[in-house]
Amino acid sequence: MQGNELIQGIVVKTYNSFYYVQTNSSQITCTLRGRMKQERFSLLVGDIVQYTLNGPDKGVIEQILPRRTKLERPMVANVDQVIVTFAAATPDLHVGLVDRFLVLAALSGLKAYLCINKIELLPADRLQDIINLYRAIGYPVLALSAKEGTGVAELKQILYGKISAFAGPSGVGKSTLLNAIEPGFQLTTGELSEKIGRGKHTTRFAQLLPLAGGEGFVVDTPGFSFTEFSGIKEAQLADCFPEMEPYSAHCRFSSCLHVKEPQCAVKEAVTDGHIAQSRYASYLEIIGELREQRNKF
Ligand code: GDP
Ligand code: ZN
């Protein structure tokens, strides 16, 4: 089992100085090659590495391949997409909060899906309004019920072959959905109070959970925290609202932030109903927060 052959895999878990690397359906426990010890603190779950074997299930990491993306909280490399998960009810769906998560996904450079769970709890017409709102902007929307099994197969298909992170408020059913997709995950589900311990403890030590057959991975802790709004510039925000793009080029001022400026094409589009009021309200709210932060420093 000794060899010089470089084998490629993905780091799914780190513990002390051990890196658990998944290749096809086997997991290899790796250490870092001596000359790479400086990478000890920068090697992340999600990194693609090349290793050599020095035992049946033991290896040495020789190389780290370039990263495509990097999530900060939790720290995970190479996440492809975020499944922004909300419940149709219990807890109530607040579109303002949905928009914040979609902005965070955009800032991380990740493709976002909007996944609405517990659909059996909301009348079909109200659900359809929400679905239409986000589909019109261009977000792929999934409506499902982990409880009744609706839409779970579709979600599974979206996760296939990708590294996905689930984001969204507590209690919307993220763990239940993941267990429905892969019963082997056995994630704790239930009331918020029962889960606080796990949430706090695992945030720093995210793991990738392999989907059956190694065809894709999910991050085991919900992605994102709201602190990430800090550090972004007000002028960047409109880029996170894709429906504003066709209009912003027609504003009177090229530096228009679409707040109080005259002859703002974005505001006109809101008045004319081309941009949803709720989305524009979310935009103003976040702009306001960014201004407050800026004034503090
Ligand atoms: P998480 O905090 O987002 O991981 O949420 P959990 O997976 O722990 O689920 C929170 C609660 O919602 C649990 O009591 C689940 O049984 C319940 N739940 C999950 N999915 C559904 C669903 O589709 N319909 C209903 N009615 N309840 C659900
Ligand atoms: Zn404008």
Query: Could you report the per-residue pLDDT of 199-249, keeping only the tens digit for each?
Result: 444 445 689 999 986 689 999 877 666 556 777 899 999 999 999 999 999
Q: Tokens 């001022």 appear where?
A: 253
State the distance from the centre of ligand 1 to the C-alpha of 254, rounded, in angstroms.
45
The residues, any chain, with a CB within 8 Å of residue 113's CB and separated by 6 or more, are 81, 82, 83, 84, 139, 140, 141, 142, 158
Atom 10 in ligand 1: which residue has the minimum CA distance?
A: 171
State the distance from the centre of ligand 1 to the C-alpha of 216, rounded, in angstroms.
23
ipTM summary value? 0.99
Percentage of residues in the chain with pLDDT exceeding 70?
Answer: 91
Q: Kindly provide the residue ranges of all beta strands, DSSP E only, lying in the chain, ordered along the sequence.
A: 7-15, 18-23, 26-32, 48-55, 58-64, 70-71, 76-77, 81-87, 111-117, 141-143, 163-167, 208-210, 217-219
CA dist list (Å): 129 to 15, 126, 152, 241:
46, 5, 21, 19
Q: Is residue 1 part of a domain?
A: no
- Tell me the sheet residues that pair with 55: 58
Are 92 and 198 in the same domain? yes
State the distance from the centre of ligand 1 to the C-alpha of 91, rounded, in angstroms.
10
Question: What pLDDT is attached to residue 213?
Answer: 65
134-158 as b/e, with b when 16 or more CB fall inside 10 Å? beebebebbbbbbeeeebbeebbeb
Structure token pair of residue 44? 């992340």
Question: What pLDDT is attached to residue 228?
Answer: 60
Closest ligand 1 atom to Cα of 188: 8
Question: What pLDDT is attached to residue 195?
Answer: 52
Looking at all shown ligands, the one closest to residue 245's CA atom is: 2
**Could you say which residues of the chain have pLDDT below 70?**
1-2, 191-205, 213-214, 223-228, 297
Question: What pLDDT is attached to residue 203?
Answer: 45
Q: How far apart are CA 111 and CA 163, in angstroms?
A: 11
Residues with CB under 6 A from ligand 1: 117-118, 121, 145-147, 170-176, 189-190
Q: How many domains does the chain have?
A: 3
Are 105 and 242 in the same domain? no
DSSP codes joined into one string, 156-176: HHHHTTSEEEEE--TTSSHHH
Are 222 and 234 in the same domain? no
Are 156 and 87 in the same domain? yes
The residues, any chain, with a CB within 8 Å of residue 129's CB and separated by 6 or more, are none
Question: What pLDDT is attached to residue 79?
Answer: 95
Question: What pLDDT is attached to residue 201?
Answer: 40
Question: What pLDDT is attached to residue 199?
Answer: 44
Residue whose CB lies within 8 A of the most ligand 1 atoms, among 85, 189, 198, for a mutation test = 189
Are 19 and 55 in the same domain? yes
Are 141 and 254 in the same domain? no
Residues at the binding site are 168-176, 251, 256, 258, 264
